[in-house]
Structure 1
Amino acid sequence: MSFRDKARGCLLGLAAGDALGAPAENLPPSEIRRRWGRLTEIEGGGTDDTEYAIFAASLLARHGHALTYADVAAAYRREVIPRVSGPMRGAGFSELGTVEALRRGMEPPLTGLVHSHGWSDGLAMRAAPYGIFCPGDPAEAARLVEQDGLVSGSGEGILGGRAVAGAVAAAMGGASTEDVVRAALSVIPADSWTARNIVRARTASKTVRKPGAAGDDGLVEALHEAVVVTHYPWTDLAPEAVALALAAVLAGGGDVEDSVTFGVSLGRDADTIGAIAGAITGAMRGERGVPERWAARIGPVTGKCLPVVAGKHVLDVADELAGGL
C-alpha cells in the first residue's frame, strides 16, 4: 500500500470510529448491549474528534516538522477563537479551558495547566495526523504531537497523545498489532499511568482472540476492571481511552470493523476509543480496510465545534498530508 492509501484509511477509520461511537458515549457496556447488541452501523455524524484531527492536520500542512506550540497557539487565536462567539459546542474540557486561557492572554504551556483537565483525551483523539506525517518514526510523531499538546494539556494527557501518534506512525510503517502497541509504549515513560494502563489492557486482551467470539463479554469486563476509574464522573481520561483503544486493536487483530465495533462496545468515551482504534487499524489496512458502508456515511464535517474546518472531508485532508511526505 502507498502512504496515501494508508493515510486515507487512517483518517477515514478515525471518522468512522468517531461517528459509530458517538451515540454510545458515556454509556456503560450493559446499556450498549441492551440498545444495540453490538453497535455496527453509523447512525449520524461525528464529533469534535474528527474536527480537531482535521485542524491538527492543517497545522502540519503549514508548518511540517518545524511546528511549535507557539504556532499552535497562534492558530487557535487566529482561526478558532474569532469564530466562536459563545461556548464551543461539543468540545472537551481541555479544549474549552484552553480557549478561555488563550482569550485571557495566557501562553503555553500555562494554557494547558490552568484548567486542571490536562489528563483529558483531547490530544489523543486528534493525534493521528502526526503519526501519518511521520510514517515509521514513532519518536518524531510523538515529539510533534507534544507541541500541540502543550497548548491544551499536560502530564498524562500529553502522554496519551504521544502514545497514539507513535502507534499510528508505526502502523503507517507496516507494523503488526503487537508492534503498534510496543511503539505506543516506546514513546512514553514506563512508570506513567498511561503506560501501566496499556500494559494492563494488553494483558487482559489476551483472554480472547477476536471480538464476537465466546467470552467477549468477559473481555469487556476484564478491560474495565484493569483500567477504568469507576469512581470518577467523567470518561475523557487519556490513560483510559488510549489503553482501551489499543486493546480493541489487539482484540480485533488489526481488522478495522472488528476493532472499532469492539472498541465502541466498551462504552465510556466511546467515540474517542472508536476514533483511535479506527485510525490505527485504518493506517494498517488502508482505505479499502474501512467498510464501504461506513465510508459512504462519512461526508464533509459541519464545523459544529470548529467552524474553521467546516466543509472539509477527511479524505482530502489525508491526501494533503500524504502529499507532503
Structure 2
Amino acid sequence: MAARRERARGALLGLAVGDALGAPAENLKPSQIRARWGRVTGYVAEHPAGTDDTEYAIFSGLLLARHGSALTPAHVEAAWHEWIADRDEGPFRGAGFSERGTLENLRRGLAAPISAQHRHAWSDGLAMRAAPYGVFAAGRPAEAARLVAVDGSVSHDGEGIYGGQAVAAGVAAAMAGAPTVAVVAAALAVVPDDSWTARSLRRAVTAAHRGERAVRRAVVVGGYPWTDLAPEAVALAFGAYAAADGDFAQAVLTAVNMGRDADTTAAVAGALAGAARGIDAIPAEWAAAIGPAHGSCLPAMAGHHVLEVADLLTTAAQRTPEAPKTPKTPAAPKTPDAPHARSPRVPS
C-alpha cells in the first residue's frame, strides 16, 4: 500500500498531469477531439504544461501549508491580496470568470463572503484547487470539506462550494486507501443530498459502467455555453474516475476525451486516482513533462513544483492529530435521479 507521502505526491502530480493532458481539449466536443486527434492517448501539445488549474492548486496548497487546520477566511483573503490581487497581473492567461470576478471585488475593497458575489460563483474554480485539502486531511473527508469551504468563501458560493467540497472529501478518502465506491460515497456525504452537485455526481457514477459517452449524456447541460459549471465538471471527473475504477491513465484519458472543461475534469480525476494509487501509478513519461509552474496565470506561483507542495502538506499534516480513518465499506451511492431536459518554499 502506498505510503502517505507517495499518495500526496500522486494526488498533486496527478492533478498537474491531468491538467496538462486536458488543456488542448478544453471547451471542445468529443466530435471535435476525434476530428483533431482521433482519440487523445497522451500529450498532444508540443510543450505540455499545467494551466491555471495547477497554479491555483499550488496557491491553495501553499496557503494551507502555512495555516493548516487554523485556516480562516481572513487568511485566504489576505493571501489573495498578497499573491494575486495586489500584484501586477502579468500575463494572467487562462484564469476563469470566477477568479476574475473575485479579483475585481477584492480590488474594490470587498471582503469575504461578499467578494464571492459575482456571476460565476457556481464555477469549478474551487474544485480545481480543492485537492490539496484532501491531501492535508487524509482519511478525514469532513475536515477536508470544512477547510476547502473556508478557502472558497472568498471566491465561490452555493454549488461552487459544494463542488470543491466533493473533490476535497473524495481525495481525502482516496488518500486513506478507500476503494472507488467509498471515495464516491465520501464525496456525496459532504454535500447536500438535493444539491445539483450531488444529483449530477450520482448520475455520473451510475452511468460509469457504460463508458464515457453515457457519463457525458447523464451530466452535460446541452447547449449551455459555459463549460466550467461546478456540478457538471465535478460529476464528469468522478464519472471518469469511476469508469476507470481508479486506474490513473484510464481515468484522466476518459476525462480528456469527454471534452467540455477538460483540463479541470482531467485534473480532478488525476488527483483522485493519484491519491488512491500513489505516484508510481502515473506513467513516467507523463510525470517527466511536469516541471515547476511557469506563472503564466499567477506570476507569484512561478518556480513552485506540485511535488514540493505535496511534501509541504505532508509535513504540515504530521503536526495535526489524526482522526479516525474513513470506513472501508461505507454505504454505496444512492440511486440517481432521472436525467433532466517548488526546495519547498512558501511565499512570505
TM exceeds 0.5?
A: yes
Corresponding residue number in structure 2 for 1:212: none
1:272 aligns with 2:264: yes
Structure 1 gaps of 5+ residues are: 208-218
1:92 aligns with 2:93: no
1:309 aligns with 2:301: yes
Match of 1:151, SS state, is: coil
Deviations, residues 80-135 of structure 1 (Å, cap 9, x unaligned): 1232346732101101000000000001111111x110110000000000000001
Shift of 1:254: 0.5
One-letter amino acid matched to 2:23:
A
One-letter amino acid matched to 2:111:
E
Match of 2:154, SS state, is: helix
Corresponding residue number in structure 2 for 1:119: 122
1:102 aligns with 2:106: yes
Corresponding residue number in structure 1 for 2:7: 6
Corresponding residue number in structure 2 for 1:34: 35
- Give identity over the alignment, percent: 61
Deviations, residues 49-84 of structure 1 (Å, cap 9, x unaligned): 000000001111111001011110111111212323
One-letter amino acid matched to 1:264:
V
One-letter amino acid matched to 1:314:
V
Corresponding residue number in structure 1 for 2:79: 75
CA distance in 2, matches of 1:242, 1:297: 25
CA contact (8 A) 1:88 1:96 kept: no
Corresponding residue number in structure 1 for 2:225: 233
Corresponding residue number in structure 2 for 1:259: 251
Is the helix fraction higher in 1 or 2? 1
CA distance in 2, matches of 1:313, 1:133: 17
CA distance in 1, matches of 2:145, 2:282: 25
Corresponding residue number in structure 2 for 1:16: 17
Shift of 1:304: 0.8
Shift of 1:138: 0.4
1:144 aligns with 2:147: yes
Moved over 4 A (4+): none
One-letter amino acid matched to 2:214:
A
CA RMSD of aligned residues (A): 1.1
One-letter amino acid matched to 1:128:
A
Aligned to 1:188, which of 188, 191, 198? 191
Corresponding residue number in structure 2 for 1:214: none
CA distance in 1, matches of 2:238, 2:16: 17
**Equivalent residue runs for 1:134-213 within 5 Å:** 134-207=137-210
Shift of 1:38: 2.0
Structure 1 stretch 42-51 or stretch 163-172: which is displaced more?
A: 42-51
* TM-score calculated relative to the size of structure 1: 0.94
Shift of 1:231: 2.3
Match of 2:303, SS state, is: coil
1:58 aligns with 2:59: no
One-letter amino acid matched to 1:277:
A
Shift of 1:317: 0.9
CA distance in 2, matches of 1:225, 1:286: 30
One-letter amino acid matched to 1:206:
H
Match of 2:86, SS state, is: helix
CA contact (8 A) 2:212 2:240 kept: no
One-letter amino acid matched to 1:66:
A
Match of 1:38, SS state, is: coil
Corresponding residue number in structure 2 for 1:216: none
Shift of 1:45: 1.1
CA contact (8 A) 2:90 2:299 kept: no
* TM-score calculated relative to the size of structure 2: 0.88
Structure 2 gaps of 5+ residues are: 318-348
